[in-house]
Amino acid sequence: MAQHSIGIFDDHTDIGKPKLAGSASYDASTQTYNLSGAGSNIWFNRDEFHFLYKKITGDFILTADFDFTGDTAHAAGHRKLGWMIRESLDEDAASMNACKHLDGLTVLQWRPYRGMFMRDPENELFYAKKGGQTIQLQRIGKLITMKVAHPGEPLQLVGSHVMEDMKDEVFAGLYILSHDSNQVAQAKIWNVRIDKPVFHPYTSNPHVVAASSQDILGSRLEILDITDGKRMVIHESVGTFEAPNWMPDGKKLLFNEGGSLYTIPIQGGTPEKLNTGTINTINNDHLISLDGKMLAISSGRKGLPGGGSTVYTLPLTGGEPRLITQQTPSYLHGWNPNGKEVAIVAKRNDSKVYNLYKVLLKDGQETAVTNNTTGHVDGPEYSPDGKYIYYNANASGTMQVWRMKADGTAKEQLTFDEYNNWFPHISPDGNSMVFISFSADIDPDGHPSYKEVTLRLMKLTSPGAPKVIAYLFGGQGTINVNSWSPDSRHIAFVSNSEKSK
């Protein structure tokens, strides 16, 4: 059978010979899928629907945002839309179905074996009828789990079921049906991600570039529009790259790969290596000065404590770096808008914990702004007006976001929840803060790679609960440095999936 790939999927087809044909298309300019399909139902011992699918094996996480389009005013309330995992393209195949109904009903359904009647749990959940929802379906071993979220909220468990005898290779994808043989339902699906995860970190040090591993995943460079939640993948690699910055002109991004720095247009294209002279072990801490003229970096120095990480500066156009910090380890995170000093994370005077320091660029003089003997602090970043330093600290059992005045006084906690929150980044207009959130079950001092994480946004001008702006598989290297666009509308970040070849 000839395949007709659409976006990241292999092909699409009608299942069960519905009376009216369905269709699938992909808009590359917005990375949005449009799906239509008729069909009586996915129920009993046979199904009728339209399916956009990809063959996949092993563990995986399927995540996307879904919404019905077209005529919904007089449509059947039990139209279905969502993710499906299916053993074959036969109408009676064993399957697991994450279902969003037009009337708000949300449920996980499954057919354990070929030809059996469909099953679903007794409890049925109802979400808002209008507007999109994020739906996630994941298979880890034999366990298949469905989660759903409204915009801005954490994913909530809908249900899970063990499919003991389901094949390793399955058809996974997007589906739609009208629940009415004489009508065609329509939908749009965006932020579509198929992630092939691993479930252990390859490094526990949040600053160190990863060593070789059997489980290094590929990387995606993504841009998120915070006004509408739409994400665009602009660059992918089977290897590791990390920590994007936005260049001052708003037209390119800067990121780290293999100890070097590269720029790439925000529309995508071929990365170009930046000249950093003899320094070629750069880690994922790099910053651009407010005037757009200078670049600060952290790089390892062999044979020195803590991997020898040291801070340097150089022209943003490239050149030989100038040494700033004499002592190691020193990890860069913030650049004062006055252009005269940077904020670093460092261990000094035989301390067993990291503390935060300000460093004058002219002579490398250091001033401590925290003096902890226990716990962990990290990610210091200046506010655009230079009055505050934002950072993350483990002072209460979980990692939370804090801020203090630039002289180290008036420390105050800003987030209060069960998550471990790292690396606060302040928008250029000073109105918003974005940070990465890990689950409660990680080491709060860790910041590991390859975890199910969220990016969350918190308004600073009108404080309230943080809202989720992205669900992804990532962690270390996702958003270590400030990656706000100059217009404060977009965020760049790195997500991970697929083992490197």
Does 452 fall in a domain? yes
Q: What is the DSSP letter of 473?
A: E
146 plus 279 within the same structural domain? no
- How many domains does the chain divide into? 2
Please, which pLDDT band fits residue 198 given cuts at 50, 70 and 90? Answer: confident
Average pLDDT, the chain: 92
Q: Is residue 210 part of a domain?
A: no
| Cis status, amide bond into 329, omega within 30 of 0 | yes
- pLDDT value, residue 45: 96
Q: Is the dihedral of CA 401, 405, 407, 413 positive or negative?
A: negative
Q: Does 191 share its domain with 234?
A: no
Same domain, 377 and 262: yes
pLDDT at 4: 82
Q: Token match 């002592």: residue?
A: 327
Helices and strands, number each (H, E), in the chain: 0, 39
Q: Are residues 141 and 248 in the same domain?
A: no
Vertex 92: Cα angle to 89 and 95 (nearest 5): 70
User: 262 lies in a domain?
Assistant: yes
In a domain, 208, yes or no: no
Q: Does some domain include residue 200?
A: no
Given 165, 195, 225, the domain boundary residue is 195
Instruction: Give the residues across from 437 on adjacent strands.
Output: 421, 454
| Residue 386 and residue 443 in one domain | yes
What mean pLDDT comes out for the span 152-159? 94
* Spatial CB neighbours of 363, under 8 Å, sequence gap ≥ 6: none
Specify whether 361 is located in the same domain as 470: yes
User: What is the structure's pLDDT at 369?
Assistant: 97
428 within a domain of the structure (yes/no): yes
pLDDT for 25 equals 98
C-alpha dihedral over 476, 481, 484, 486, to 10 degrees?
Answer: -150
56-108 tens-digit pLDDT: 999 999 999 999 998 877 677 789 999 999 999 999 999 999 999 998 889 99
Same domain, 233 and 314: yes
pLDDT of residue 82: 98
Residues 171, 298 share a domain: no
Among 195, 228, 259, identify where a domain stops: 195
Report the pLDDT value the prediction gives residue 308, as an integer from 0 to 100. Answer: 83
One domain, residues 269 and 378: yes
What average pLDDT score do residues 160-184 get? 96
Q: Do residues 174 and 236 both lie within one domain?
A: no
CATH of the domain at 139: 2.60.120.200
Residue 306 binned pLDDT confidence (cut-offs 50, 70, 90) = low
Please choose, from the candidates 417, 440, 448, 9, the residue with its C-alpha nearest in 3D space to the C-alpha of residue 200. 448
Q: What pLDDT sits at residue 292?
A: 96
Residue 452's pLDDT is 96
**pLDDT tens column, 251-288:** 999 999 999 999 999 999 999 999 999 999 999 999 99
User: Of 140, 162, 195, which residue constitutes the final position of a domain?
Assistant: 195
Range of the domain at 172: 11-195
Specify whether 176 is located in the same domain as 255. no
User: What's the rounded mean pLDDT across residues 139-143?
Assistant: 96
Asked whether residue 203 is domain-assigned, the answer is no
| CA end-to-end span of the chain | 27
Residue 116 pLDDT:
97
172 and 304 both lie in a single domain: no
Residue with the bigger pLDDT between 45 and 203: it is 45
Query: What's the CATH number where 396 sits?
Result: 2.120.10.30
On whether residue 4 sits in a domain, the answer given is: no
Give the pLDDT band of residue 123 (cuts 50, 70, 90): low
